Amino acid sequence: MSMSSVVTLQRGATSVVFDHSLPMPAIAHIGAAIDGFDPRALGLPVAHATLDAPAPIGVLTENGTGFLGRPGLVGSRPDGSAWAPIFTTVANEIDSDRARFELIDETAELELVIAVEITESETVSATLELTNTGTTDYTLVRLSASIPMPVHATELVSFTGRWCKEFQPRRHDFEALSVIENRRGRTSHDQLPAIFAGSVGFGEHHGDVWGIQLAWSGNYEIAAERLADGRRHVQAGELLSPGEVVLAPGASYRTPAVVVASSQAGITPASQQFHRHVRAQNPLRGDRKVILNTWEAVYFNHDLATLRSLADAGAAVGVERFVLDDGWFGGRRDDTKGLGDWWVSDEVWPDGLHPIVDHVVALGMEFGLWVEPEMVNPDSDLYRKNPHWTLTTAGYQPVLGRQQLVLDCGRSDVREYLFERIDALLNEYAISYLKWDMNRDLVQGSNHRSVDDAGRAGTHGHVRGVYDLLDRIRAAHPSVEIESCASGGGRVDLEMLRHTDRVWTSDCNDALERQAIQRGFTMLFPPEVMGAHIGPHRAHTTHRVQQLGFRTATALFGSLGIEWNLLDADEDGRTQVAAAIALYKRLRPLLHSGNVMRFDHDDPAALVHGVIAGDRTHAVMAYVQMLPSITTAPLPMRFGGLDPDRRYRIERIDDLGSADEFGRKRPPWMNLERFELSGAQLMRSGLQPPILHPESVLLIELHSV
Ligand code: GLA
């Protein structure tokens, strides 16, 4: 091998170095640019009792070359052949920040295209595309790209959770084989397509870190594998059911993108790279509006007078968009029936939605509407007419989830029906927002498309179909924003965030839970897409009772809304909500464009986080007392990411009502008329918080002087 067989891509601080000395390109380095990186430095000796040449970790790992870990391609022809191909590069196009390799295996009659680019946000994105050039079908079971990790990436952080407790990071060793498998047909609450690998003990601001996300909203598998020789890789791709993707002669399959962020200073900078990725692929169109969502206020009880009063109360506190949730259509008076019948119900809305839409618009707010297009209740006109539109398997009783079935959005007639219905609603009413829900896991989902295809697994086709439908609606109604919801945060991923604008993070509005959920969320996605609503005094999903100041200070850091019957709030409560909304509007430009900081903090009873403007002249920080501290006074908070050479004026934000202090005396700095510190001191030495009751937040604003 010579240095001419090294391909280096670079953009900003990120580089990808390919070892191209073998027929299959392999990533030798990914992350911080290293001048003149030479892959020969890591070439392996041949160990006893191993094959004569150590196999590389190719972008596609190949059993045929002697790679003995997980193969990147699993598939075969009807006669069982072509199951272990070996590809050879026949052409490539290399630019400074992107590479495209074309490979073939003449024996297996397969073609492979590998495309890797460093995006403008300096993430690395890789996709594979396989084409069947033979004369028989090729059944594909796996096509997954491999991203090698250095041997010192010894720990992993992946995400688990459940309904009302999404985005919970968990740490484990990067040993043997760890596989995240999701078979729920949606991104899921419990197996996110995301993983961080890093050096021992990596934290928010220390350690080498690589973050890997698969941009896909259906089934997937992400494997972190340590090989016998100590090398490591993370392999990510769609999880296909047997027979789900069969490539006819000439047909191709393209993988979802594997997106990699990297940092030499902990998780937070890698998260910021992911945030820039989302911001670049789907830029905000104006300010993120303050929402009032009716679900927890009225549930299915759609009473015009109440909803009008609720809209009045919302407008009075500064709400900018009123979203009418479930219950407005067909026979949908509870969650047992009606899904699929997307006509405004005469029973509850005899004059259509006009009386509420017009009222909301007259108040100067926008109107949003809940839909769950992919679903059908067996008790619906749509199902009675088209039972074969569902993803179910003939001969079996389908498993219901929330009394509903999934429509096969892989079918063009289903997409046509749904488009026509949604388009008609958007044309008839001044709707500027859709809350697009998806409330069940998809199991045993076979399609009934044609006699040939009936019984074939349909998740892949469904997910692609949903993306198509979303894109078609957006193209026809470009000013309409779409929120992705799946029983809260059950479908949040990089690809869904290309086709939608915001997500409903969780059905849990308990601020204590939300602090943890939102912290996990921002490890992967930016705050402006994170629906964060002020809930009622007593949280509906946990029954915890929380002060309004804690609830507002928690929701402030996302895309703010209200999920509460404001008509239950007293005058004082409404004044506090109005102040929170005003504060949000003032800080919104910073919160939705700045760098999100999650600080490591020495007290497990508290969380410290904030947002620092790109130019580091302005920041807002939150000290969150989650539980009572074990120390007599809480520990100082240190704010990395500031400019060490600037001085900052430190001001406590009191707009949300004072944080719930109970110390006899505040820390002295809080009694000073004016207080300034250098960035260096704030970063390295820190600032003392007051003694707070649990479940309260101290907000601090920093301005450079
Ligand atoms: C799901 C959503 C909720 C609400 C209900 C309506 O559970 O997560 O926010 O929209 O559906 O049925």
Instruction: Annotate 146-163 with DSSP letters as a single string.
Output: EEEE-TT--EEEEEEEET
Do the beta carbons of residue 28 and residue 16 sit within 8 Å?
A: no
Non-local (6+) Cβ contacts of 665 within 8 A are none
Q: Which atom of ligand 1 is nearest to the CA of 485?
A: 8
Q: Which residue, by CA, sits nearest to atom 7 of ligand 1?
A: 487
333-386 residue pLDDT tens: 999 999 999 999 999 999 999 999 999 999 999 999 999 999 999 999 999 999
Alpha-carbon torsion 236, 82, 185, 368, what sign?
A: positive
Distance separating alpha carbons of residues 492 and 238, to the nearest angstrom: 16
d(CA 203, CA 267): 6
Res 570: pLDDT:
96
Residue with the smallest CA separation from ligand 1 atom 11 is 487
Judge contact between 641 and 609, C-beta under 8 A. no
- 41 contact partners, CB below 8 Å, separation of at least 6: none
Surface-to-core class of residue 443, CB atoms within 10 Å of its CB (0-12 exposed, 13-18 middle, 19+ buried) = middle
Query: E-assigned strands of 12-66?
Result: 14-19, 26-32
pLDDT at 612: 98
SS3 85: coil
SS3 letters across 319-376:
CCEEEECCCCECCCCCCCCCCCCCCECCCCCCCCCHHHHHHHHHCCCEEEEEECCCEE
436 alpha carbon – ligand 1 mean position (Å): 10
Burial class for 93, CB neighbours closer than 10 Å (0-12, 13-18, 19+):
exposed
Chain centroid, CA 328 distance in Å: 29
In this structure, what are the phi and psi dihedrals at residue 669, rounded to the nearest 5 degrees? -60, -25
Distance, CA 437 to ligand 1 centroid (Å)? 7
| 587 CA distance to ligand 1 middle (Å) | 29
Mutate to test the pocket of ligand 1, among 440, 492, 507, 509 (most ligand atoms within 8 A of CB): 507
Which of helix, strand or coil describes residue 45?
coil
Ligand 1 first shell, C-beta below 6 A: 295, 325-326, 335, 370, 437, 439, 485, 487-488, 504, 507
Rounded to the nearest angstrom, the distance between the alpha carbon of 646 and the centre of ligand 1 is: 46
Ligand 1 centroid from CA 270, angstroms: 32
For 30, the token pair is 């990914």
Is the CB of residue 597 less than 8 Å from the CB of residue 275?
A: no
Q: What is the pLDDT of residue 657?
A: 78
Residues in Cβ contact with 183 at an 8 Å cutoff, skipping those fewer than 6 apart: 219, 239, 443
Cβ pair 485, 166 in contact under 8 A? no
pLDDT attached to residue 451: 65
Which of the listed residues 164, 165, 324, 325 should we mutate to test ligand 1's pocket, taking the one with most ligand atoms within 8 A of CB? 325
Q: How far apart are the first and last CA of the chain?
A: 56
User: Cα(98)–Cα(144) distance, rounded to whole angstroms?
Assistant: 19
Tokens standing for residue 257: 């993108």
Please return the burial class of 508, using the count of CB atoms within 10 Å of its CB with bins 0-12, 13-18 and 19+. Answer: buried
Q: Which residues in the chain show pLDDT less than 70?
A: 1-4, 451-452
Closest by Cα among 487, 284, 296, 264 to 375: 487
The CA distance from 419 to 416, in Å, is: 5
Q: Which of 370, 502, 506, 509 to mutate to test the pocket of ligand 1 (most atoms within 8 A of CB)?
A: 370
CB 164 within 8 A of CB 508: yes
* Rounded CA Rg of the chain: 27
Between the alpha carbon of residue 91 and those of residues 4, 24, 27, 99, 113, the distances in Å are: 15, 12, 17, 11, 10
How many Cβ atoms are within 10 Å of 426's Cβ, its own excluded?
18
CA 27 → CA 9, 22, 150, 367, 536, distances in Å?
A: 11, 12, 11, 49, 51
Q: Tell me, what DSSP letter sits at residue 682?
A: H
Residue found by looking up tokens 């088209």 in the block: 386
What does the alpha-carbon distance between residue 326 and residue 47 come to, in Å, rounded to a whole number?
Answer: 63
What the block records as the tokens of 310 is 């609720």
302 with 242: CB under 8 angstroms?
no
Query: Which residues, at least 6 apart from 142, have a Cβ–Cβ distance to it below 8 Å?
Result: 71, 72, 73, 74, 75, 221, 237, 239, 240
pLDDT in tens, 268-282: 999 999 999 999 999
Type of residue found at 692: L
Contact 370, 326 (CB under 8 A): yes
Global model pTM greater than 0.75: yes
245 in Cβ contact with 131 (< 8 Å): no
Atom of ligand 1 nearest to the CA of 507: 8
Task: Identify which of 180, 184, 183, 204 has the alpha carbon closest to the alpha carbon of residue 192.
Answer: 180
CA distances from 508 to 85, 505, 564, 573 (A): 48, 8, 12, 21
The rounded distance, in Å, linking the Cα atoms of 156 and 169 is 10
d(C-alpha 63, C-alpha 511), whole Å: 50
Helix runs in 452-547, H state only: 459-476, 496-499, 511-522
Rounded-to-integer distance, Cα 494 and Cα 704, Å: 34
